[in-house]
Amino acid sequence: MSHNALTLEERLSVMIEVQLHENEERSFGEFRRKVRSAEVLSAAMQRLLEAIRFSGRLSVVVQNGQVLKSGYEEGYFRQLETESTARLQ
């Protein structure tokens, strides 16, 4: 009887592993879709970028799902400042 119970436990373990793998594949597929369709920023961040009329590069380094580092290229802000100063003169 214990042999059959162990087999049942093994079956359940395999079923759980398969389910976890399927969920992981589904999540990664959703991640790829969002990256391809440029849905990588929150709505609040997108509104902020529009408000400051940012044009340039943003970079984000992620490890194990955590953001390690992010940055932007400042030259694009300087260009906007120059345009604004030119309009004021």
Contact 64, 76 (CB under 8 A): no
- The pLDDT of residue 61 is 93
**Domain parsing of the chain, residue ranges:** 1-40, 55-89
Please give the average pLDDT of every successive group of 10 residues along the chain, which has 89 residues.
72 90 91 89 91 88 93 68 56
Radius of gyration of the chain (CA): 24
What string of DSSP letters covers 17-50?
A: HHHHHHHHHHHHHHHHHHHHTT--S-HHHHHHHH
- The pLDDT of residue 59 is 92
